[in-house]
Chain A
């Protein structure tokens, strides 16, 4: 172990003033693309949370919502698999939005639809700065979530939980 002695102290001070590799500082900053990817991961986690809440709260919606939930879980798996940096750091497993579920089943469907629409818009806003491969994943997930919007709209028009 290196101890601060009269002979090594000047060396320490000189090193700390250097602009070389920051061996003594924290981990390197996360690249912008990775930062956006981590946001996309969190957005999927938030969607999964609200779907689970809706299925638990309104069991009659289960047959409609469960396939969509399974697709969100597949989205999350693919997005998480694309996170290759920072090396060795775990992808955050955190839900950042826990909104109260609407007190009616029809309201909950509308709430999910709004969440899906917002997710589509967010994914499309990330296309420009992404690598071609990641942009395609975002676009495919956005297309999937756009079909969820249509599915939920159709269910709302059929009478929501009553049908």
Chain B
């Protein structure tokens, strides 16, 4: 008996793996970045950073498992990351948390462009927790999470 579902074309599969790897790389960066964020915060903000750090570790593990299932080798975390700006106090730590979450949302949005419907749905759903965390850190919502400004300018 054969599956009714046709296997994806090699180029489609490569695009899926590439998008998953990009999401994984963003999660690795977030895991690293939240170490910096948490070190600069105290009290309930530090607790929030710790909870978000754990959420990114879980998301990273999920993506790694998905890639292995597709026969790919998950991209490894870098030993260190260049921060987008100097983080020396709580205000810049909060800004970094926003940047990390925005980066993860954007990476998951890349998954929504693949052909596979299951991965599209996964990407769209996976955007929502980091979009919410970005709002919590930023203190305000945005109209188009993950979309480059140029794509939605009127």
Contacts and interface: CB of A to CB of B under 8 A. Distances in A.
A147 B121 CA distance: 17
A136 B143 contact: no
Contact of A133 (B105, B113, B123, B124): B113
A151 B112 contact: no
Given A135-B113, A139-B109, A142-B124, A147 B146 contact: no
A53 to B, nearest CB: 20
Contact of B144 (A67, A74, A127, A150): A74
A133 B109 CA distance: 10
Interface in B80-125: 105, 109, 112-114, 117, 120-121, 123-125
User: Which interface residue of A132, A135, A147, A148 has the most chain B CB atoms within 10 A?
Assistant: A147
Contacts of B146: 136, 139-140, 143
A147 B145 contact: yes
A136 B141 contact: no
Interface stretch (A8-16, A29-37, A75-83, A99-107): A75-83
Interface stretch (B58-66, B69-77, B127-135): B127-135
A68 interface: yes
A144 B142 contact: yes
B117 A128 contact: yes
Interface in A109-163: 124, 127-128, 132-133, 135-144, 146-148, 150-151
A145 to B, nearest CB: 9
A150 B132 contact: yes
Nearest to A138: B124
B107 to A, nearest CB: 12
Interface of A is mostly: helix
Contacts of B113: 132-133, 135-136
A146 B112 contact: no
B132 A140 contact: no
Contacts of A71: 141-143
Interface in A20-68: 67-68
Given A127-B121, A127-B124, A143-B128, 17 more contacts: A71-B143, A77-B154, A124-B121, A127-B117, A136-B109, A136-B146, A136-B147, A140-B127, A140-B144, A140-B145, A141-B144, A143-B105, A143-B131, A144-B145, A146-B128, A147-B135, A147-B141
16 contacts: A77-B154, A127-B121, A127-B124, A128-B117, A136-B112, A136-B113, A139-B127, A139-B146, A140-B144, A140-B146, A143-B105, A143-B145, A146-B128, A147-B135, A147-B141, A148-B141
A-B pairs with the 7 shortest C-beta distances?
A132-B113, A139-B124, A74-B143, A71-B143, A128-B117, A143-B145, A143-B131
Interface of A: 67-68, 70-71, 74-75, 77-78, 81, 124, 127-128, 132-133, 135-144, 146-148, 150-151
